Chain A
């Protein structure tokens, strides 16, 4: 079955420091990949998505992600973190439906930002 692994449950970075959140996927075909962000008590907002072409994709709020097929990874990065980036981040892979649904999510990485 398809799956998504986010190895880091919780990450703390200082404001202004760079950020990288890891995501590994297991999928039999060319994957469609997504990063979502969830602020406390809120739904999920799409940050960026990848489905073909340039392996470095740009998203909203200054985030970018790089698709590496050889490593089955789709890591999220930001050069300089702002306090407002504190939230939970979910990586997801698009699936052709079935019992897992259209999107399969990782368990998330909670980001804390130190002043």
Chain B
């Protein structure tokens, strides 16, 4: 059973640029959620995708967008990067959106630094 894999592991971008982060969910999981973890903070919910549709969104601006593909892998896109976007971005998968009952399987994250 493979876990959640994320790429790249580290990334440095310039303010104003765009970035795409990728995630492969755990085998058998059809729901992917993205969290932003700023330094010294707990993870904050960005959005969730279930069967290729957005299924919940946190308090993040529209320049944060996502996709889920038929194989349940996912992308997080961030446009017009700001310095405050520097964080660890965590992808988490679950089955049928049931993370509130069973918890998530998390990837190791992508460390994004905006300069």
Contacts and interface: CB of A to CB of B under 8 A. Distances in A.
Interface of A: 4, 32, 34, 36, 41-46, 49, 51, 90, 92, 94-108
B111 interface: yes
Contact of B103 (A42, A103, A106): A103
Chain B at the A interface: mostly helix, strand, loop or mixed? mixed
Interface of B: 4, 6, 33, 35, 40-45, 48, 55-59, 90, 92, 94, 97-109, 111
A44 B44 CA distance: 13
B97 to A, nearest CB: 7
Contact of B100 (A4, A44, A95): A95
B104 A103 contact: yes
A22 B99 CA distance: 22
Nearest to A35: B103
Contact of B109 (A4, A43, A46, A101): A43
Nearest to A107: B42
Contacts of B56: 97-99, 101-102
Given A44-B90, A102-B94, A107-B41, A49 B103 contact: yes
A100 B42 CA distance: 13
Given A44-B106, A105-B43, A97 B55 contact: yes
